[in-house]
Structure 1
Amino acid sequence: MRLIFILASVLLITSEAIAQPVTIVAYNAENLFDTEDDPTNPRDDTYLPLAVKDANRPAHDARCEQYNGTTGFYAEECKTLNWDNQTYTTKLKHYADVLSAMPVLPDVVVIPETENKKVLDDLVAQNLTAANYTVVQLDTSDKPDSRGIDVGMLTKLPLAGTPRAHVIDFGNAAKECGKTRDILEVPLQLPDGATLNVFGVHFPSGASPFECRARALKTLSTLAAALPAGSLAVAAGDFNVNCNESPTEGFSRLLQRGNWYVSPLATHGCNAPGSTKYVDRVMDNWNTWSFLDMILVSPELSATRPSEQNWFADLGSFGTVVVHPEQIAVDEDNKGFIEPRRFDPKTGHGVSDHWPVMMRLLQRRS
């Protein structure tokens, strides 16, 4: 019986009876900065060549301490990291290698933690020219608290309108939440001419209260509700909702009120699988996982509701995509525990502290 299910799965993926799926990936790039100093972005001082840093001391060190503290890992990294052109191009190549190793090159890639449009232009020009990706990156999150990074997007699908960025207003929780990355809204044209509205997100980190992520999700839901009735919408990216928060009634109610559907896998708790490791501070246990990265879909894309639209989301296809050795790190004690492999500029190995997640959109009628 088990063999039958496996064969059925293969047939579902390869059958010509299903028109070409649209694949959507969310893949946090983990600090994808270029090598140039942007005077308007004080948080890019870490990601400069060491020669540039040395030529501007002690002013460079003073800026590092202003935004990273006077001591500790981040202050030291800001002062000593050599983010030169070789490091930068290696980082780009490894990220592209993961996308290229996927079963199909994604139609849409939502990419949190990009400094500007240039880094995505370089990613495509140096490694992905054959994919014919259109780059969307509006470079609007310029406040220091946002770390000078934005959500970017690569798309094979044509634009169906003008991309927009939306600021998240935290209201009376602004002091606790600070600033965060803007929500990127990009309307795209599906193969049959229908419009798919893709929201790219990177919500406040786990260092802030859950209320901050809740308010960000409410903003996202408000934007989706403002679309014309019957619209197709997908929200993808780094929601930063950890495995202790995602199974809660509070989060499920936020999804219900926002009319979002999500794979149950993303809210199943702290067991594997997941897109990144989650440290349980109480149990001091690294063998726990979170789906910080999710893909949500609107009601018209749900397979459990009737719809006049021709597309639905295969929620069962949602999951992590681990396809390249540079994605995998083994624990320092070498006991065999694995986690996503951060990019290490000193060794030139690794990609990101997140694994990508993927989901397919299928046509109801071929």
Structure 2
Amino acid sequence: MKLKHCLLSLFAFSICLVSAQEKKNYKVNTIAFYNVENLFDYENDPITFDDDRTPDGKDHWTSEIYNAKLKNMAKVIAEIGSDVTGTSPAIVGVCEIENRRVLEDLVNQEALLQKDYGIIQFDSPDRRGIDVGLLYQKKLFTPTAYKAHELLIYDDNDVSKRIYTRDQLLVSGMLDGEKIHIIVNHWPSRSGGEARSRPKRIKAAKLNKKLIDSLFSDDPYAKIITMGDLNDDPTSPSVKDILKTKSEREDLQIKELYNPMEEMYKKGLGTLAWRDGWNLFDQTIVSSELMKKDYSSYRFYKAGIYNKTYLANAQGQYKGYPYRSFGNGSFTGGYSDHFPVYLYLIKEIPSN
């Protein structure tokens, strides 16, 4: 059996599975996640620690640089999955955004404007002033409920001192008429070392598991995608021991989670590089219901890392690493220190 792509309409493609006996058409939607590396506007917000990202700040973050950054981010998002679907992602989770304004400016860039993206974002208590958010094509996805769930973690040496970090954003809605749940994450960093900071990510994983379990409590067959920059790899304790993800489809039971990124990680692939090594912190994890082989409704097809050549450094010491937008005290003209990740959901189109 081989794959080929067939155009259905201006915005919908199908994957045609061709054999001697059958030809089936499939509707395809892309779900993506992108750490956009400190997408700040250039105005000073007295409430957040954004002083560096202002014209007079350390980074000399001007309106010209901000607009160049927006254009770059919009270009990447517009292209993810477009070679298969003919359009940009139906849903995009993002992190390292300063506020709603930067998302409004982002979706109004030329590369995205005609896609008519909606925005879901809450200001989180993060001490860096960065949030998570969700973009969605209004013609493809209709949100029905959404809420930011705060992560409560405290200082190891003073349990009365809260460490303020990002919320986890849970969005439920209808994708082309089907109920789906999306959780957008940006778990605590490895600042201070992986082992020392690990309990914070374990706590984040427990909150994520609680949200997922609550969805399963309402519907054991819920279609769930939890995605984001976890600051942990697919084999880390937070993912394997707390979320209890599986890397083999055949091992899945009802109300369990499949992580397509684990196999990629074991092959040496990653979304960010650090000290001559790759990590795969940016992950898309799906519930067992999305892994069924009955394509009468949306199911997982495959996942990937969007690591096109232009998103990586072309030469020098960091050749092949993500072409970050800021380095050595100035704007580089690059994109992000993370590669985006994505997955395809497909559904069979009944033959007439």
TM class by smaller structure: 0.7 to 0.9
RMSD: 2.8
Alpha-carbon distance in structure 2 between the residues aligned to 1:303 and 1:206? 35
SS of match in other structure, 1:359:
strand
User: After the TM superposition, which residues 289-304 of structure 1 pair with which residues of structure 2 at under 5 Å, given as runs?
Assistant: 289-303=278-292
Deviations 1:313-357 (A, max 9, x none): 12xx211112362x11145347xx310011038455101000001
Give the C-alpha shift of residue 267 in structure 1: 6.6
User: Secondary structure of 2:166's partner?
Assistant: coil
Query: For residues 28 and 80 of structure 1, do their structure 2 counterparts lie closer, same or farther at Cα, with a shift above 3 Å needed?
Result: same
> Which letter maps to 1:46?
D
The residue identity in structure 1 corresponding to 2:231 is N
Matches within 5 A, 1:185-334: 185-191=170-176, 193-207=177-191, 209-227=197-215, 228-229=218-219, 230-242=221-233, 246-248=234-236, 251-256=239-244, 259-265=256-262, 268-269=265-266, 272-279=268-275, 286=276, 288-303=277-292, 310-314=297-301, 317-323=302-308, 325=310, 327-330=311-314, 332-333=316-317
* Residue in structure 2 matching 1:131, options 99, 110, 115: 115
Answer 1 or 2: which has greater helix percent.
1
1:10-59 residue CA offsets vs partner (Å, 9 max, x unmatched): 45974283332121111100000111111111x11111112xxxxxxxxx
Contact 1:177 1:212 in 2 (8 A): no
- CA distance in 1 between counterparts of 2:288 and 2:331 reads 46
Q: Are positions 1:48 and 2:54 aligned together?
A: yes
In structure 1, the gaps of 5 or more residues are 51-78, 280-285
- Structure 2 residue runs of 5 or longer lacking an equivalent are 7-13, 17-22, 83-87, 246-254
Output the CA distance in 2 between the equivalents of 1:126 and 1:300.
36
The structure richer in strand per residue is 2
Please say if 1:152 is aligned against 2:133.
yes
Q: 2:232, 2:238 within 8 Å by CA — same for their partners in 1?
A: no
- Distance in 2 between residues matched to 1:347 and 1:264, nearest whole Å: 31
Aligned to 2:252: none
| Secondary structure in structure 2 of the residue aligned to 1:81 | coil
Q: Following superposition of structure 1 onto structure 2, how do residues 52-91 of structure 1 map, counting pairs within 5 Å?
A: 79-91=57-69
Cα distance in structure 2, aligned partners of 1:44 and 1:37: 6
1:338 aligns with 2:320: yes
Q: SS at 1:358's partner residue?
A: strand
Q: Percent identity?
A: 28
Kindly provide the CA deviation profile for residues 255-285 of structure 1, in whole angstroms up to 9, marking residues without a partner as x.
328832111546734x532111133xxxxxx
Please name the residue that 1:61 is paired with: none
Amino acid at match of 1:180: T
8 A Cα contact 1:343 1:352, kept in partner = yes
Number of aligned residues: 309
- Once the two structures are superposed, what CA deviation does each residue of 1:93-145 show, in whole Å capped at 9, x if it has no partner? 00111122334111111101111110010011123111111111112x1342x
Whole-angstrom CA distance in 2 between matches of 1:249 and 1:123: 35
CA contact (8 A) 1:102 1:323 kept: no
Deviation at 1:159, TM superposition (A): 2.8
24, 30, 45: which one aligns with 1:23: 30
Q: Secondary structure at the match of 1:216?
A: helix
Distance 1:169 1:108 in 2: 27
* Mapped contact 1:40–1:142 kept (Cα < 8 A): no
Which whole-Å CA distance do the structure 1 matches of 2:96 and 2:258 have between them? 25
73, 76, 89: which one aligns with 1:98 = 76
Q: Which residue of 2 aligns with 1:39?
A: 46
Question: Quick one: which of 342, 346, 350 aligns to 1:362?
Answer: 346
TM-score, structure 1 normalization: 0.76
* TM-score, normalised relative to structure 2: 0.79
Inter-partner Cα distance in structure 2 for 1:177 and 1:252 = 26
* Per-residue Cα deviation, 1:181-239 (whole angstroms, up to 9, x for no partner): 00011112111x22111110000012252221121111111111112212211111101
Aligned partners of 1:333 and 1:160: how far apart in 2? Answer: 44
